[in-house]
Amino acid sequence: MAYDERPLAISAPEPRTLDLIFSDEARKLLHARYQIVEADPDNIAELSDEVLGKARYIIGQPPLSAGTLARMPELRCVLNVESNLINNMPYEILFQRGIHVVTTGQVFAEPVAEIGLGFALSLARGIVDQDLAFREGRELWGGEGNARSRLIAGSEIGIIGFGDLGRALRRVLCGFRATIRVFDPWLPRSMLEENGVQAASLKEVLTESDFIFVVAAVTSENKHFLNAEAFASMRPGSAFILLSRADVVDFDALMAAVASGHIVAASDVYPEEPLPLDHGARVLNGFIRSAHRAGALDSAFKKMGDMVLEDMDLMDRGLPPMRCKRAERETVSRMRSKGVKIN
C-alpha cells in the first residue's frame, strides 16, 4: 500500500451502503479525510496485516475475533450503522483496549415514533378499515362508522422500553393529555419521572393501558416475554403496537389475541422478513401491517453519515464520540437483535 497520511477506515456497512448513509457532499468529505478500504464483512480477517494494522475505524459492525482485533493496534472505534448492537465480537477486549463501539440507531427514533402515532390513530379510529370499506362501496356514514372508535386524548398509554425511541414517542404523544406509564427495568424511576412519564411494572402497563407501544430491544433476558398470558391480561379492545423487534413477542400468541377480537394491533416487524406470502398475518383482521419501513427514510439514513463524520472528527482530535450512542459494558453483551436484511 502506497504511503498515505490520511487515517484508514474499513468500510463494511451491510446491510447499508456508503451511498445510502452519506450524501454526495458527505461522501466526498469522507474520502477526502480518510483512506477507505471496502471489505466483505464476513472476511475482515482476510485483509492484509498492513490494512488491519493501520485501521483506525470500522464503518459497520462485522464479526471480529480476538485474533483479528490483535492485528488492529490502531483501532479506535466500531461505528455500527445498522442500528442494533450485535453480539458478534469480544466486547471485553474492546473495552479493555478503550475501543469505542457506537451506534447511529437514534436517527430512527423520530420517524418510528411518528409512524407509531399513525398506527395508534388508525387503530383508534378505524382509518384503514374504513378507507377499504369506502373503496369497496360498503362504507358506514357518520356515527355508524365510529361504533368502535375511541380517542387517544385523555387515554391511558403504556410504553415498553424507554430508550431513544421511547423518548421520541413521549414527545409526539405529550399533546394528547394522556397518562403515560413506562416499563423499562434498565432505567431508574427518577429518570422516567424526569421525562414526564410514570414508572410502572409490566403488569401495570399491560392491564391499565388503552394503547401499548413496544419499543424494547431484544436481549438475552426478554425473548418472547410478551406471550399469550400477557395479551390475555390486556384490556379488551386495547391496541398493541410493535415497533422494535419481533423477537420480544410470541408472534403466534399475538395473532391469536387479535384473531379472537380481544385486542387490535399493528406491527412494523416480523419473526421472518420478508414475511412469507402465505403467512397468516397478511390476512388477519384487526391488524395493521407495515413492511419494516417505519424508520427507513432517506433523511434518517443520511443523518447517519453526518453523525459518523462528526464522531470520527472528534476522535481524530483525541476526544470521545458524542453524536452516536456508545455501547455500555454492562449491557451490550446482552443484546440479541438480528441484523436487518433489508433497508
Q: Using 50, 70 and 90 to split pLDDT, how confident is the model at 298?
A: very high
Task: Reply yes or no on whether the pLDDT at 1 is more than 60.
Answer: no
Does residue 315 share a domain with residue 238? no
Tell me what the mean pLDDT of segment 175-202 comes to: 96
- The total of structural domains in the chain comes to 2
Report if residue 342 sits inside a domain. Answer: no
CATH number, position 119: 3.40.50.720
What are the grid coordinates assigned to 104, written together?
Answer: 447511529
Predicted pLDDT of residue 221: 77
Tell me what the mean pLDDT of segment 97-102 comes to: 97
Does residue 210 share a domain with residue 76? no
Q: How far is Cα 285 from Cα 219, in angstroms, rounded to an integer? A: 30
Task: Reply yes or no on whether the pLDDT at 337 is more than 80.
Answer: no
| Under 8 Å between Cβ of 44 and 68 | yes
Which of 132, 128, 109, 111 has its CA nearest to residue 120?
128
> What is the side-by-side strand order in the sheet with 198-199?
198-199, 179-183, 156-160, 211-214, 239-242, 264-267, 287-289
Helix, strand counts (H, E) of the chain: 13, 13
DSSP 42: G
Does residue 129 share a domain with residue 18? no
Report if residue 340 sits inside a domain. Answer: no
Does residue 128 share a domain with residue 94? no
Q: What pLDDT digit, counting tens, does each position of 219-237 carry?
A: 877 889 999 999 999 999 9
Question: Residue 295 contacts by C-beta under 8 Å, 6 or more apart in sequence?
Answer: 83, 107, 108, 111, 112
Domain that holds residue 221: 107-287
Does residue 276 share a domain with residue 324? no
Task: Reply yes or no on whether the pLDDT at 340 is more than 70.
Answer: no
Predicted pLDDT of residue 217: 85
Does residue 152 share a domain with residue 90? no
The alpha-helical segments, DSSP class H, found in the chain are 18-21, 24-33, 49-54, 66-70, 91-96, 109-125, 127-135, 164-173, 189-194, 202-207, 228-233, 251-259, 298-316
| Under 8 Å between Cβ of 15 and 339 | yes
Report if residue 99 sits inside a domain. Answer: yes
- Higher model confidence: residue 63 or residue 342? 63
Q: Residue holding cell 456508503? A: 18
Q: What percent of the chain has pLDDT over 70?
A: 97
Concatenated DSSP letters of 98-139: T-EEEE-GGGGHHHHHHHHHHHHHHHHHTHHHHHHHHHTT--
Does residue 147 share a domain with residue 222? yes
Chain-centroid distance of CA 172 in Å reads 17
Does residue 179 share a domain with residue 248? yes
- 15 prior amide bond cis, ω within 30: yes
Q: How far is Cα 182 from Cα 194, in angstroms, rounded to an integer? A: 12
Does residue 323 share a domain with residue 242? no
Tell me what the mean pLDDT of segment 263-282 comes to: 96
Tell me what the mean pLDDT of segment 146-163 comes to: 96
Does residue 143 share a domain with residue 60? no
Predicted pLDDT of residue 175: 94
Does residue 246 share a domain with residue 161? yes
Does residue 80 share a domain with residue 128? no
At residue 63, what are phi and psi to the nearest 5 degrees? -60, 135
Predicted pLDDT of residue 341: 53
Q: Using 50, 70 and 90 to split pLDDT, how confident is the model at 254?
A: very high
Q: Using 50, 70 and 90 to split pLDDT, how confident is the model at 86?
A: confident
